[in-house]
């Protein structure tokens, strides 16, 4: 029996309900494959602010550090939207990424054949889309110094953030992306704004140098504005995309929408070997439907699958979860966000039960 310590961060909004489903399916797959998961729940986001005054208590970071992997649901909500920036739930997420050194964020966006009609783009444009966005997660403008709102001599305020990348930061995310592309179709597109920004020139130069070590990967470059347009115009030209923190934030939401529902997409945030990764849905905490049994738990379940695959090196168990998702979709079960005519409407819990039955 292999034993894994998993930290659960249910967070806010729909977080706790979708995480319950993921825990149930993990336990079921564990029974089947002789894996034992020991779960420890910790506070983060708005829930942590209410209980302790801060979005990421030290204790939570410590529990995460001492586990094999972290399964996060979602954070944030209207209630905390008016707090100063340094106390917002989002800061907890950024603190977790920085605290664990999770520099590589993998965001797959592939369209499931069962859900093609849920996309807002035409069938022929999105059918077969299978993209992996590799986003740098602990650098760039999200973390660059100086930052802040400063008062000038005239009394006018100036807001400042700094977009900065060092060569080593570009290199380590570049390596993750080249490796990922190598395991996929062997095509990598690096996205920057090197026609305007020096930080992007350095990015492009370093990625180009690195490509000499990966002759089997076909590298291309796009400016971020063009990349956004191409994602909507002809998304099938993309396989693996590598980009910085801010561009990756934006492009990964755009890529997610190609697939019809952001409620389906998982992500993995990884650091150097040996540090626990954080696995979470791409979607947010959806406070408008929280507690109503309407949420789609599939992105959370697929995040658990990514945890098994990338965090715990248990590919068979990951396959099981992904297969169960296919089975319930084939059987016609749909939560509201992916509902279409003729399908069987279910809530979060019933979707969870269908997944358990499929396992």
Q: Among Mg ion, ligand IPM, none, what does residue 90 contact (CB within 5–8 Å per kind)? A: ligand IPM
CA 171, distance to chain mean position in Å, is 21
User: Per CB under 5 A, does 136 bind Mg ion?
Assistant: no
Q: Interface with ligand IPM includes 93 (CB under 6 A)?
A: yes
Q: Lay out the site mask for ligand IPM across 147-186 (x = CB under 6 A, - = otherwise).
A: ----------------------------------------
CB-closest chain residue to Mg ion: 249
The residue among 94 and 331 lying less far from ligand IPM, judged by its C-beta, is 94
Of 30 and 139, CB closest to ligand IPM: 139
CB-based contacts of 244: which residues, under 8 Å, 6+ apart?
Answer: 135, 136, 139, 140, 141, 163, 165, 192, 199, 200, 203
Return the number of other C-beta atoms located less than 10 Å from residue 78's C-beta: 10
Residue number closest to ligand IPM, CB atom: 90
Q: How big is the chain by its Cα radius of gyration, in Å? A: 20
- Which part of the chain contacts ligand IPM (CB under 6 A), choosing from 25-33, 56-64, 88-96, 195-203? 88-96
Sign of CA dihedral 338, 341, 343, 349: positive
Query: What residues are annotated to the active site?
Result: 142, 193, 225, 249, 253
Q: For residues 352 and 126, what is the distance between their CA atoms, to the nearest angstrom?
A: 28
Nearest approach in angstroms of CB 130 to ligand IPM is 20
Q: How many Cβ atoms from other residues are within 10 Å of residue 273's Cβ?
A: 5
Q: Which is nearer to ligand IPM, 192 or 249 (CB)?
A: 249
Q: Which of residues 246-285 bind ligand IPM (CB under 6 A)?
A: 249
User: Residue 228 — φ and ψ, nearest 5°?
Assistant: -60, -45
Question: How far is CA 279 from each of CA 81, 93, 127, 135, 205, rounded to the nearest angstrom?
Answer: 24, 12, 27, 14, 31
The partner in contact with residue 12, picked from ligand IPM, Mg ion, none with C-beta cut-offs of 5 to 8 angstroms by kind, is: none
CB 173 within 8 A of CB 153: no
Size of the site for Mg ion (CB under 5 A): 1
Considering the complex, state which of residue 278 and residue 355 has its C-beta at the smaller distance from ligand IPM.
Answer: 278
Task: Between 163 and 219, name the residue whose CB sits nearer to ligand IPM.
Answer: 163
- Please give the full DSSP string across 315-335, using - where no structure is assigned: HHHHHHHHHHHHHHHHTTEE-
Q: Least Å distance between CB 324 and ligand IPM?
A: 25
Matching residue, tokens 């279910």: 346
Which residue in 136, 249, 280, 314 binds Mg ion (CB under 5 A)?
249
x/- map, 210-249, ligand IPM, by CB under 6 A: ---------------------------------------x
Tell me if 90 contacts ligand IPM by CB under 6 A.
yes
CA dihedral in degrees (285, 38, 68, 30; nearest 10)? -90
Q: Which residues bind Mg ion (CB under 5 A)?
A: 249
Q: Which residues bind ligand IPM (CB under 6 A)?
A: 90, 93-94, 249
């Amino acid at each position: 029996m292999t034993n894994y310590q998993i930290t659960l961060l249910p967070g806010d909004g729909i977080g706790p309900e979708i995480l319950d489903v993921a825990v149930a399916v993990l336990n079921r797959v564990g029974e089947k494959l002789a894996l034992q998961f020991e779960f420890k729940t910790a506070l983060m986001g708005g829930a942590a602010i209410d209980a302790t005054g801060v979005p990421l208590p030290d204790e939570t970071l410590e529990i995460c550090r001492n586990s094999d992997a972290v399964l996060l649901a979602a954070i944030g909500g209207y209630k905390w939207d008016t707090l100063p920036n340094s106390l917002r739930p989002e800061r907890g997420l950024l603190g977790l990424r920085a605290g664990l050194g999770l520099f590589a964020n993998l965001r797959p966006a592939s369209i499931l054949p069962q859900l093609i009609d849920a996309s807002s783009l035409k069938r022929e444009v999105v059918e077969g889309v299978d993209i992996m966005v590799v986003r740098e997660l602990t650098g760039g403008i999200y973390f660059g110094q100086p930052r802040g709102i400063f008062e000038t001599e005239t009394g006018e305020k100036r807001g400042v953030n700094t977009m900065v990348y060092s060569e080593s930061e570009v290199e380590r995310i570049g390596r993750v992306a080249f490796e990922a592309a190598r395991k996929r179709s062997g095509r990598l597109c690096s996205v920057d704004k090197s026609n305007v920004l020096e930080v992007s020139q350095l990015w492009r130069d370093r990625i180009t140098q690195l490509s000499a070590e990966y002759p089997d990967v076909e590298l291309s470059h796009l400016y971020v504005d063009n990349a956004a347009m191409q994602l909507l115009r002809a998304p099938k030209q993309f396989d693996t995309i590598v980009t910085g923190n801010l561009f990756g934030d934006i492009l990964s939401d755009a890529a997610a929408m190609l697939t019809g529902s952001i409620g389906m997409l998982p992500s993995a945030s990884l650091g150097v070997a040996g540090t626990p990764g954080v696995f979470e849905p791409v979607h947010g905490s959806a406070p408008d439907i929280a507690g109503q049994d309407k949420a789609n738990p599939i992105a959370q379940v697929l995040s658990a699958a990514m945890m098994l695959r990338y965090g715990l090196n248990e590919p068979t168990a990951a396959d099981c979860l992904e297969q169960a998702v296919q089975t319930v979709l084939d059987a016609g079960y749909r939560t509201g966000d992916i509902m279409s005519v003729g399908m069987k409407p279910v809530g979060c819990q019933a979707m969870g039960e269908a997944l358990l039955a499929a396992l």
